[in-house]
């Protein structure tokens, strides 16, 4: 599990104008909370935060957050991004954690292999891209690999087919479908249905 050091500076609640100034300096306002301690407002360097998210474990990266001579072990709980510039972070929530207590996390599902159904002309549809599991912070996997090589046309794999190691509890519903190989005609119909739904949503937006 990735673990990085980040420095935070305490800040007092501020006006929108002051927060805008902080962001213009490359700082990201945030809040640290959890573990039955008082919530603290902070700022962190935007480059440091981007570095955390750039690790292979992403938001599941363990962060040693140093502030005022002390240190909290935290994880990124929630991020807010600029509406126009999605790579620009405008706020971050850190949650304090204990390395001895299990917590619920979202872990990506990575498909490996080429399904037999695709070789027969089918199309892969991944319905679930991440699952929720409970484990110790030091045991969070970067991803869960799912071998789809033997999957034929019309067949599916569910959460129950995911293989985990160690002391991990799966929270996601075991019956939830992760991936299906659709027949070409079914895939085409689903694509048309999605396009029609998107077009309808755009019309509603324009009318509103």
Give me the percent of the chain exceeding a pLDDT of 90: 71
pTM: 0.77
Contacts of residue 6, defined as CB under 8 A and 6 or more positions apart, other chains included, come to 44, 45, 48, 49, 52, 63, 64, 65, 66
Q: Quick check: 140 pLDDT over 90?
A: yes
Least confident of 34-38, 125-129, 132-136: 34-38
What's the whole-number mean pLDDT along residues 48-70? 92
Mean pLDDT over all residues of the chain? Answer: 89
Which pLDDT does position 15 carry in this prediction? 77
Q: CA-to-CA distance for 66 and 49, rounded, in angstroms? A: 13
Question: Does position 82 have pLDDT exceeding 80, yes or no?
Answer: yes
Residue range 11-18: average pLDDT? 80
**Would you report the helix, strand and coil content of the chain in percent, each value rounded to 5?**
25, 40, 35
- pLDDT for position 129: 97
Question: Which domains are present in the chain?
Answer: 3-96 (2.40.240.10), 103-207 (2.170.120.20)
Residue 203, pLDDT > 80, answer no
In the structure, what pLDDT confidence band is assigned to residue 188 with cuts at 50, 70 and 90?
Answer: low
Element (H, E) at 88: none
Q: What is the CA radius of gyration of the chain?
A: 21
How confident is the model over 149-176, as pLDDT tens digits? 999 999 999 999 999 988 999 999 999 9
């Amino acid at each position: 599990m990735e673990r990085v050091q980040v420095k935070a500076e305490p800040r007092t609640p501020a006006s929108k104008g002051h927060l805008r100034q902080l962001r213009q300096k490359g700082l990201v306002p945030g809040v640290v909370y959890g573990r039955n301690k008082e919530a603290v407002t902070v700022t962190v360097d935007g480059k440091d935060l981007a570095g955390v998210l750039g690790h292979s474990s992403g938001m599941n990266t363990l962060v040693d957050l140093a502030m005022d001579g002390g240190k909290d072990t935290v994880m990124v709980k929630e991020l807010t991004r600029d509406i126009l510039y999605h790579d620009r972070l405008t706020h971050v929530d850190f949650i304090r954690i204990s390395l001895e207590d299990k917590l619920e996390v979202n872990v990506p599902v990575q498909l490996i292999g080429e399904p037999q159904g695709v070789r027969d002309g089918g199309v892969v549809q991944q319905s679930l891209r991440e699952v929720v599991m409970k484990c110790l912070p030091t045991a969070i996997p970067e991803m869960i690999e799912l071998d789809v090589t033997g999957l034929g046309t019309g067949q599916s794999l569910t959460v129950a087919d995911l293989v985990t190691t160690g002391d991990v509890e799966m929270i996601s519903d075991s019956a939830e479908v992760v991936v299906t190989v659709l027949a070409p005609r079914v895939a085409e119909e689903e694509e048309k249905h999605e396009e029609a739904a998107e077009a309808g949503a755009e019309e509603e937006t324009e009318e509103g």
